[in-house]
């Protein structure tokens, strides 16, 4: 990684030596980042909360497929195309300035999803989950203009906080929180973010979810 790329990522090659690619820690961190991904964890949250409050497999499947079609798939396709065209460096969109376009596009898709959920009369908990991500993406998009912040940590913390607050008996809260901590570690281990960027992401995620729940429930 060049010095320019390192600075854009918000890290310094002299302070953060490259990870041992191929080592167990690196492989495990890569696996964690892929599983607890900003495009995946929200879908899991939708599944859990939708089923918890509808007790309907068909309704839960509908809300999940709609979220997949309106957010995860188009955003993933955009990133894939931009990387293939050489406009973005990697699938994580690691260079801060390349995220200038990513945040507004993600916000637009989330806004459409919130409207569709409202029209479908989805459970309020599902709508609040989408609004949480809208708020978190607005904050991250603004912060990203000057400083890189971890989207993995933000999304994981937001979903974990939502599940802790809204899942019946708070059953899903502790494992989701553990996942958020684990993905934060993985981003630092992979040298994608500094510890400060991960911590900021956690704070944005939790803060957005707490505010959305208080206003929306």
Instruction: Give the model confidence (pLDDT) of 14-35 as tens digits.
Output: 345 555 566 899 999 999 999 9
Strand locations in the chain (E): none
5 part of a folded domain? no
Scored b (16 or more CB within 10 A) or e, 72-86 reads bebbeebbeebbeee
207 part of a folded domain? yes
Cα distance between residue 113 and residue 135, in whole Å: 14
Q: Backbone phi, then psi, for 55, in 5-degree steps?
A: 55, 30
- For the cut 80, the answer to whether the pLDDT of residue 9 exceeds it is no
39 part of a folded domain? yes
Domain extent, residue 72, equals: 21-216
1 part of a folded domain? no
- Give the pLDDT of residue 17: 55
Cα distance between residue 99 and residue 51, in whole Å: 33
- Give the pLDDT of residue 110: 97
In this predicted model, what pLDDT tens digit does every residue of 35-65 receive, in sequence order? Answer: 999 999 999 999 999 999 999 999 999 999 9
In this predicted model, what pLDDT tens digit does every residue of 157-206 receive, in sequence order? Answer: 999 999 999 999 999 999 999 999 999 999 999 999 999 999 999 999 99
4 part of a folded domain? no
What's the total number of domains in the chain? 1
15 part of a folded domain? no
pTM of the model: 0.89
206 part of a folded domain? yes
In this predicted model, what pLDDT tens digit does every residue of 95-117 receive, in sequence order? Answer: 999 999 999 999 999 999 999 99
- Give the pLDDT of residue 217: 79
14 part of a folded domain? no
For 48, the enclosing helix (H) or strand (E) is helix 41-54
Query: Could you report how far apart the first and last alpha carbons of the chain are, in Å?
Result: 46
């Amino acid at each position: 990684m060049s010095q320019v790329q390192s600075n854009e990522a918000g890290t310094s090659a002299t302070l953060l030596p490259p990870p041992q690619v191929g080592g167990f820690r690196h492989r495990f961190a890569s696996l964690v980042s892929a599983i607890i991904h900003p495009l995946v964890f929200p879908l899991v949250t939708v599944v859990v909360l939708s089923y918890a409050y509808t007790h309907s497999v068909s309704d839960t499947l509908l809300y999940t497929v709609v979220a997949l079609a309106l957010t995860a798939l188009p955003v993933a396709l955009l990133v894939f195309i931009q990387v293939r065209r050489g406009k973005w460096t990697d699938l994580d969109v690691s260079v801060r300035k390349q995220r200038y376009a990513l945040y507004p596009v993600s916000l637009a898709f989330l806004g459409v999803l919130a409207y569709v959920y409202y029209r479908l009369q989805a459970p309020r908990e599902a709508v609040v989950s989408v609004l949480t991500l809208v708020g978190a993406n607005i904050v991250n998009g603004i912060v990203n203009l000057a400083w890189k912040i971890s989207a993995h940590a933000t999304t994981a913390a937001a979903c974990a906080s939502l599940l802790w607050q809204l899942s019946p008996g708070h059953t899903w809260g502790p494992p989701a929180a553990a996942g958020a901590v684990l993905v934060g570690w993985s981003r630092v281990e992979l040298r994608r973010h500094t510890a400060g960027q991960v911590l900021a992401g956690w704070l944005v995620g939790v803060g957005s979810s707490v505010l959305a729940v208080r206003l929306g429930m």
